[in-house]
Structures are given as structure tokens and as C-alpha cells.
Amino acid sequence: MSVKVAVVTGSNKGIGFSIVKGLCKRFDGIVYLTSRDDARGRAAVAQLNALGLSPHYHQLDVVDRASVLRFSDHIKEKYGGIDILVNNAAIANSAEWYNSYEENKNIVEINYKSILTIQELLFPLVRNGGRILNISSDCGHLSNIKNKYWIGRLSNKNLTLNDINEFVQWFLEKSKNGNLSKDDIADNATFAAYRVAKVAVSALTMLQQKELEGRNICVNSMHPGLVRTDMTLGAGFYSADEAAETPLYLVLEAPATLKGSYIWYDKKVLDWYDCNADYYFKTATLRK
């Protein structure tokens, strides 16, 4: 009988850390806390050790292909596979509502393009019947996009990876040329890169589900709520431990029929395609 393995990316602090903590308490197997920075990762493990919990640690920088490969080889060699994979690693631009092209590019690289690398190198290790959770955001609901052309392409039931990548590329080119219209994205295009990256992740989740359907793997994306973390500069309506409850439910307890869905922080499954819904992120919520 093979040992069960759970992996949480970007988990040295915030929601990722709380998900690792919860998995250590409830998951019957090995739990990997991973982080880009080795020292911070090991300090986080020591914090959990002090609580009597014993996560394993491995360095993992999701935007560094070589790092993802090293981690993949490590898991393959030691355990042969993964049962739970939580794609949590992300950055936001909470301090500034509008960012430079370089900052936007970096946000897209970490929040969206890294998931493509993980999909290529770690998804093949996910065992049949496993669970994958992409941590998205309310910025990841389709209602964040107001450009009619892109709403049409992204909501097409025959969506392809090419559609998603071209959407992301369109945004980056507009950002580079300084001609993104504030009407193209909700809330006057505040936090535009984060919205674009997370919408791309939510859309990608549905494609991933189609690809993995034959292996009975559940892939979902979810909005963890506005959580008091470093990423939100302390703004939010609940703690990281509280925010970890729905992710833990999705990877440990949710029915296996819940697949390819976009889920709200209260476990409610939302219609991701409802572009006229009021689910998009509003900067007003950050004003304390």
C-alpha cells in the first residue's frame, strides 16, 4: 500500500500555511510544506513542529522550471505519486491599484503561468482518484472581465488553452503599450494583472478537469475570501485558519462529483460563466 501524499505550494505563510496545518491534523499521509525561500520554509516547519505537527519540507519555486523538476523527481523517487495537490503559490499587488508592465508581467508569471508548469510536471504524478485545488479569488470570476470580445471567448464551452493564453497575452500587450481601457476590466481596471491571472486560472481549471476526467481526478478552483494576510496588507474579514476550512473540505471531504467547479469561500458552487453577476472584486472592500 503506497503512502498518501499531499502537497501545498507557497505554504510558508498565509492560507497555504493554514492548509498545511489542517492537513497535518486531518490527512492520513505525508504533507509537504513548500516554499520558494528555503529559510522561510524551514522556519514555518519549525512553527508547526512546535504545535506537535510534522510536515515534510521541500524547496519549490513554482516559476523556476528546474525547481519544479527537482521536486517532481523527489516525489517520484520517494513516494511514486501525489494524492492531494493545492496550487496556492501567488502574489498580489495590494499596495498599488495600478502597476507597471514589469510588475504586471511578474504577477501573471507567478499566478497563472506557473500553473502551466505545475500541470506539465506535477499533474502526471497525481494518482487516479486524486484531488487538485487551484486557489483562485473573487478576482478570478468571469464578471471581472468587461470586454465583450473576451467574455465571448472565455465563456465558449469549447474553450481551449490557446484562448486563455491569448487573453493573457492581450492584457500584457495592452499593459506594455499603456492602452488598456479601464472599461475592459471591472472596478476601473484596478488590480488588473491579478484579475486577469486569476480569471485565467479559473478558466484553466475547467480544461484541466476535462483532461483528467478519465483518471477520476477532481480539479476545482475556489475563492478563499478576503483574508487577513500579508498579501491583503492585513485587510480582510477572517483569519487564514478560518479561510483554510473550505480548501480542506474540498480536498478531503467534498463529494467526488464536485469537479471543474468555481467555489466561493462558503462552499457554495457559483456559475463562473455569469459575467453579469456581482462577484467581481471591489477595491472598496480594502478601505478600512
**DSSP secondary structure code for residue 111 in this structure:** I
Tell me, yes or no, if 79 is annotated catalytic.
Answer: no
The secondary element (H helix, E strand) that includes residue 135 is: strand 126-135
Beta pairing class for 262-263 and 82-87: unpaired
The active-site residue, picked from 57, 112, 194, 262, is 194
23-50 burial code (b ≥16 CB/10 A, e <16): bbeebeebbbbbbbeeeebeebbeebee
Q: Cα 230 to chain center, whole Å?
A: 16
Cell numbers at residue 151, please?
A: 467574455
Integer Cα distance of 8 and 263 in angstroms: 18
Integer Cα distance of 169 and 171 in angstroms: 5
Which residues are within 8 A (CB) of 214 and not within 5 positions of it... i.e. 6 or more apart?
none
Q: Is 5 helix (H, G, I), strand (E, B) or coil?
A: strand
Q: For the CA atoms of 91, 95, 100, 102, what is the dihedral angle to 10 degrees?
A: -30
Integer Cα distance of 242 and 225 in angstroms: 10
Q: Is 6 helix (H, G, I), strand (E, B) or coil?
A: strand
175-191 burial code (b ≥16 CB/10 A, e <16): beeeebeeebbbbebbb
Catalytic residues: 194
